[in-house]
Amino acid sequence: MVFEKIDRSSWKRNEYFEHYFTNIPCTYSMTVKLDITQIKKKRMKLYPAMLYYLATIVNRHSEFRTAINQEGELGIYDEMIPSYTIFHKDTETFSNLWTPYIPDFEAFSMAYANDMQRYGSNYGMIGKPDVPENVFNVSMMPWSTFDGFNLNLQKGYDYLIPIFTMGKYYRDDEKIILPLAIQVHHAVCDGFHICRFVNELQELINS
């Protein structure tokens, strides 16, 4: 994992970062309806498939890898890793696991399955220890669909990494639709960037 510090004096986004991080701190969320028909047609397991697709697009664009590290420095990770929640029915609580991103889908799916087998029965918020600093968060609420979802983070104005929340999928005519909420920081991500993310994500799912 490499963290490349940003030189604010020559950074093309510095004016926008200063405006939306310091002058008028601003985060926002966008909820979209993804067509996951191809995932279901191929009988792929939904959660690992979506984790892989999300991580692929996150790692494609620097605005989704920009962060403030543990030393308080602004920079860009060369790679981001999905950290995701799993639910324990008996206690009605969740735990966080993480799986290294592997560009090959089959290899990633195998790594996910290994993590689920090894850590999936662990209780507590951190189900898999030694969480790396270059993770982005994904969660799923498979009990209900939604048209809008927003996280209210007390310290959200200092958090630059995107957060993804999925809901219950449903059928719409011949399509199967999955709601996805994306929370981002305006200091590093404009409407153009989040729309490009969604479009590329849908293209990847379709392919």
* Distance from C-alpha of 112 to C-alpha of 171, rounded to nearest angstrom: 27
Q: Which pLDDT does position 68 carry in this prediction?
A: 96
Q: What is the CA radius of gyration of the chain?
A: 17
- Cα 193 to Cα 13, 139, 163, distances in angstroms: 13, 21, 14
Is 90 exceeded by the pLDDT of residue 153?
A: no
Instruction: Give the residue among 101, 33, 36 at the shortest CA–CA distance from 65.
Output: 101
Q: Is residue 154 predicted with pLDDT exceeding 90?
A: no
Distance of CA 5 to the CA centre of its chain: 22
Tell me the three state secondary structure of residue 99.
coil
Mean pLDDT of 72-99: 97
| Residue among 82, 105, 106, 85 at smallest CA distance from 95 | 85
As a whole number of angstroms, the distance between CA 59 and CA 108 comes to 14
Mean pLDDT of 159-181: 97
**Mind listing the pLDDT tens digit for each residue in 73-84?**
999 999 999 999
DSSP 187: T
Kindly report the CA angle at 81 between 8 and 13, in degrees rounded to 5? 20
Query: Average of pLDDT values for 79-107?
Result: 97
Residue 95 makes CB contacts below 8 A (sequence gap 6+) with 85, 86, 88, 119, 122, 123, 124, 125, 126, 127
Q: What pLDDT shows up at residue 156?
A: 83
How crowded is the C-beta side of 154, counted as CA atoms within 13 Å? Answer: 0
- Rounded to an integer, the average pLDDT of 25-52 is 96
Nearest to 36 by CA among 207, 175, 182, 197: 175
60-76 pLDDT tens trace: 999 999 999 999 999 99
**Active site (catalytic) residues:** 186
Q: Amino acid identity of 140?
A: M
Q: CA nearest 29: which of 173, 198, 178?
A: 198
| 8 A C-beta contact, residue 98 and residue 82 | yes
Beta strands in the chain (DSSP E): 3-5, 27-35, 66-68, 74-77, 81-88, 93-98, 135-140, 163-166, 170-172, 175-185
User: What is the predicted pLDDT for the residue at 155?
Assistant: 81
Model confidence at 136, in pLDDT bands (50, 70, 90)?
very high
Report pLDDT for 139. Answer: 97
